[in-house]
Amino acid sequence: MPAQRKVIITCAVTGAIHTPSMSPHLPITPQEIADAAVGAVEAGAAIIHLHARDPVTGKPDQRPEAFRPFLEDIKKRSDAVINLTTGGSPYMTVQERMMPAKVLKPEVASMNMGTMNFGLFPMLQRFKEFKFDWEKPYLEGSKDLIFRNTYGDLETVLTELSANQTRYEFECYDTSHLYNLAHFVDRGMVQAPFFVQTVFGILGGIGSHPDDVMHMKRTADRLFGADYRWSVLGAGRSQMPIAAMSASMGGNVRVGLEDSLWIGAGKLAESNAQQVRKAREIIEGLGLQVATPDEAREILQLKGKNAVAF
């Protein structure tokens, strides 16, 4: 009898999309981020995707020293695969964005695979009151924001981080991003098996209709065959329906408060762990099992927990 397929759950604990005023449950301080990450691992997440924030204002902070306190805590308290952002905030330069992964040498780093519009301003329709002066302009400014990820930027990140044996969560927000990845595969700069995170529901990228999910999967299958491991990220209300599609189609899933603040219609998620538990229920309801951190390391051929610089 063949071994049962294991589904990798990635949990994106906090991020640059949502601001502190949107949810009292969004982790901000290093201790909150560490506790949220460990709770997500205990609930079933194998990979933890991490951003850092100013502990007072909650503004995105991409200095390596902002990451180190919670990284060391998470490493002591769990076996999680740590995935550091190189996306940071769309308002940062690529050198700022890649610095934490360059210095701290995680097992995995995220990598946005194309320049795009990145519209956060629709959130102003729901959220009207803000605690900090930076929040509203941050969202409003996305009307004129171009999230830069040029071929030169991508080549720089691949060159500098691959030297540390860091592998990637290739975040593909549209079909063109899959072709961008194929370009670097053809150049020999990306080695199989590579982890492709197809992202749905961000304004500026592909939508969240089931047809969009099927289209991205078909395209990735045609371009990469057996050389890639597929995962999905559904933003906002599409988080769990798209996770269910992926699990049923042989893929992996990403949840977390970076991607969605919600656990149901009009109901804020109280923790990252709550979303992980719901994703796990979907996966196990399909007769599948969630992967442990060490199983995720084997599936993605990662360098191991002890080969990082934190």
* Mean pLDDT across the chain: 96
Q: How far apart are CA 99 and CA 200, in angstroms?
A: 27
3-state DSSP assignment of residue 306: helix
Helix-, strand-, coil-residue percentages of the chain, each rounded to 5: 45, 20, 35
For the whole prediction, is pTM greater than 0.85?
A: yes
Q: How far apart are CA 276 and CA 206, in angstroms?
A: 24
pLDDT band, very low/low/confident/very high, at 91 (cuts 50, 70, 90) = confident
231-265 tens-digit pLDDT: 999 999 999 999 999 999 999 999 999 999 999 99
Q: How far apart are CA 66 and CA 29, in angstroms?
A: 10
Predicted confidence at residue 1, as pLDDT, reads 43
Q: How far apart are CA 145 and CA 233, in angstroms?
A: 22
Residue whose structure tokens are 């995680």: 106
Q: Are 133 and 192 in contact (CB under 8 A)?
A: no
114-131 tens-digit pLDDT: 999 999 999 999 999 999
Percent with pLDDT over 90 in the chain: 96
Indicate whether 204 pLDDT > 60: yes
Burial of residue 56, with CB atoms counted within 10 A of its CB: 0-12 exposed, 13-18 middle, 19 or more buried: exposed
pLDDT band, very low/low/confident/very high, at 284 (cuts 50, 70, 90) = very high
Q: How far is CA 127 from the centre of its chain?
A: 23
Q: Where are the domains of the chain?
A: 6-307
CATH number for the region 6-307 comes to 3.20.20.70
For residue 94, give every residue at least 6 positions away whose Cβ sits within 8 Å of its Cβ, in sequence order, or none: 86, 148, 149, 153, 156, 157
Predicted confidence at residue 3, as pLDDT, reads 60
pLDDT band, very low/low/confident/very high, at 90 (cuts 50, 70, 90) = confident
